[in-house]
Amino acid sequence: MTSILAYDLGASSGRALLGRLNSRTIETEELHRFPNNPVQVRGRLHWDILRLLHEMKQALLKAKHRGVTLQSLAIDSWAVDFGLIGRSGELLGNPYHYRDTHTDGVMENLSVQLTPPYIFGRTGIQFLPFNTIYQLAAMKRDDSPLLREADRFLMIPDLLRYFLTGDMYNEFSNATTTQLYNPLRGDWDTDLLAAIGIPASWFGPVLQPGAGAGELLPSVCGELGIASVPVIAVAEHDTGSAVAAVPATDRSFAYLSCGTWSLMGTETDRPVLSELAQQLNFTNEGGVGGTYRLLKNIMGLWILQETKREWERGGTTLSYPELIGLAEQAPAFTAWIDPDDARFLAPGDMTPRIRDYCRETGQRAPEQPGEVVRCILESLALKYRYVLELTERLSGNAFSGLHMVGGGIQNKLLCQWSASAIGKPVWAGPAEGSAIGNLAVQWIAHGVFADIWEARRVIRESFPVEVYEPNNREAWEDAYGRFRTATGLAE
């Protein structure tokens, strides 16, 4: 039986999943999993991009040793980050990590020259300090020598595809996240690029999800001793792939892609570029089949992940199940944070920042690990309600519940608290949403599925969905009001 291969690269780990269809049922098998650890070098934070390439090759070797015949492969990853290719065809430097501080203050400074209404009206993208436009503007400000040598711009999946195939393309879903793509023109915004002093010639053809993107290079095949494999451009922003895997039955649905980041929104036929969308700081990112994802970024489980790492550095090792158990036992509704406060973006010790936030907002700061974790998870669940209500207001739709996909749904407590916070059912699954959406678009490209809705139907029949019903409604309703007051979201 032939298989297809999905590389799904997250901000903390990567995985390679094999996908097979057996009587219209999707079967997946994890072939390879590996860490994705950023590297600090002289005060700068970078991705170890060549290590990722090495691990991707290991997955191909594992497929070879197992006798697997690959019909195609595709890559999805996080957004906004990129590599620059020189005139010789070589990568110029290690890509910056979006949490690096070189963009500090750039968004605010650039808004004097390029006002938020001007940028949003041309791109429809949420204002975040690490967006690609601000990364490039920061490099221009610093007179980076890389800019003088650059010839092409490739986002992370584009770059890894280039290493494997030798072909340079930009893919639609990831291109839209740069805040440099104009959905009204259907192409890169040359006026914005000129305004920040970046040549439009660096930016190549934009492929839609499902388009062919080359084949493995003879040099790669020779190195690994494998036959060539077609490479397909899927929704290469991992959230785009995750949304493709949402097993929705209604054309109007709300989703939450839950992991290191939480991304909540709905799927639309066209970008929403209204003044209200800009005021609410929503984003319009490309999806599958020409759709857009009207959504908002929420800081997500990053805060919990960093807190766990902080405790481990201090000698306290607690597993996630242990931390969740402690959170369940801690007193309810005593303190909250706004997960999207800027202080929680950078790596490092989180508990002092959480305590400072609580004290500054007149709340009792959590002390014990269980209290800290409860504060984080309750805050996320309540922020989900806040953003879901904004999504309903902006889209004009009242959603009957929330689809949660991604690795974060393994946190059952967060799923239950999310249902209770929004006062509606949460449908959780599949956990490997990005990888499954990646596979689905490959099958669409092969003509196995007619469109994304047929793919979603098969996904729904192939993977279990756990339903969480809201409970303790009065307590959560009261907590929501107090959360909005404490965090300033009631203003």
Catalytic residues: 238
Contact 244, 459 (CB under 8 A): no
- 136/431 Cα distance (integer angstroms): 34
Contact 81, 156 (CB under 8 A): yes
Overall residue count recorded for the chain in this entry? 491
- Measured CA distances, 339 to 1, 152, 375 (Å): 46, 36, 10
- 197/92 Cα distance (integer angstroms): 18
Contact 11, 36 (CB under 8 A): yes
Residue 144: CB atoms within 10 Å: 17
Contact 432, 238 (CB under 8 A): no
Buried b (16+ CB within 10 A) or exposed e, 31-40: bbebebebee
- CA dihedral sign, ordered 223, 227, 232, 236: negative
Identify the helix (H) or strand (E) that includes residue 207. Answer: strand 206-207
- 392/399 Cα distance (integer angstroms): 7
- 274/282 Cα distance (integer angstroms): 10
Q: What count of Cα atoms within 13 Å lies in the side-chain half-sphere of residue 47? A: 28
Report the SS3 class of residue 279.
Answer: helix
Identify the helix (H) or strand (E) that includes residue 63. Answer: helix 49-65
Task: Tell me whether residue 136 is exposed, middle or buried, using C-beta atoms within 10 angstroms of its C-beta: 0 to 12, 13 to 18, 19 or more.
Answer: buried
- 25/463 Cα distance (integer angstroms): 9
Q: Is the peptide bond before 129 cis (omega within 30 degrees of 0)?
A: no
